[in-house]
Amino acid sequence: MIASLESMQRHLVGLVIGAAVFVAPRLVTGQANRVRLTFGDAQAIIATAQRSAAAMDVRVSIAVVDPRGDLIAIERMTGANAASADTTIGTAMVSAILMRPSGLLAARGATNPTNAALNEATGGRLRFIAGGVPVVRGGLLLGAVAAGGGTSQQDEKIATEGAAAVP
């Protein structure tokens, strides 16, 4: 009976994740006035975030993703840790898919059953750490930006300033 209950819970979690990953982004992009981040928007976000990082004397990677968590652009500043690029993409994905700053999810992280199932569904690419923020305009999720390589507070501030670059 316990194994059956666990199986049902996993199935239910999978259904919820499917709705979050596949339905929510379609609702956003299916709007009559379809709004989304362009490559030019991503470049502006990255340039603003780089200026913010340089002002703090921090070297980071910055990733911009669409509402599904698909990568639009990434930049690793000279001197940033090479591993920060992959981590930053995963952090941006978390923020986009779950539509909130990744720092709010860091406490529960990947150990939460729903987050663990979501991470498994994405091939283990999600990073439940601070540094990612959604890009929202007019109530629509356009994507997310994340920075990684500084402290959690620095990364989140850099990402927040980058997100503000898109009108």
Domain that holds residue 79: 2-163
Q: Which residues pair with 144 in a beta bridge?
A: 65, 134
Decide if pLDDT at 19 tops 70: no
Residues 31-48: pLDDT tens digits? Answer: 434 478 999 999 999 999
Decide if pLDDT at 13 tops 50: no
Inter-residue contact 67 to 141 (CB < 8 Å): yes
Query: Position of tokens 């006035």?
Result: 33
Decide if pLDDT at 30 tops 90: no
Query: Per-residue pLDDT averaged across 51-75, rounded?
Result: 96
CATH label of the domain that carries residue 24: 3.30.450.150
Q: What is the pLDDT of residue 27?
A: 43
Query: Per-residue pLDDT averaged across 142-165, rounded?
Result: 96
Cα distances (angstroms) measured from residue 56 to each of 51, 75, 150? 9, 17, 9
Dmax of the chain from CA atoms? 58
Inter-residue contact 126 to 87 (CB < 8 Å): no
Decide if pLDDT at 2 tops 90: no
Residues 89-125: pLDDT tens digits? Answer: 999 999 998 899 998 887 776 677 777 777 677 766 7
* Nearest CA-CA partner of 64 in 115, 135, 137: 135
Q: How many CB atoms lie within 10 A of CB 87?
A: 19
- DSSP reduced 3-state for 140: strand
Decide if pLDDT at 151 tops 60: yes
- Express as a percent the part of the chain with pLDDT over 70: 75
Decide if pLDDT at 9 tops 90: no
C-alpha–C-alpha distance, residues 77 and 97, integer Å: 25
C-alpha–C-alpha distance, residues 46 and 147, integer Å: 9
Inter-residue contact 145 to 88 (CB < 8 Å): no
pTM of the predicted model as reported, rounded to 2 decimal places: 0.76
Q: What is the pLDDT of residue 116?
A: 75
Domain count, the chain: 1
Q: What is the pLDDT of residue 124?
A: 66
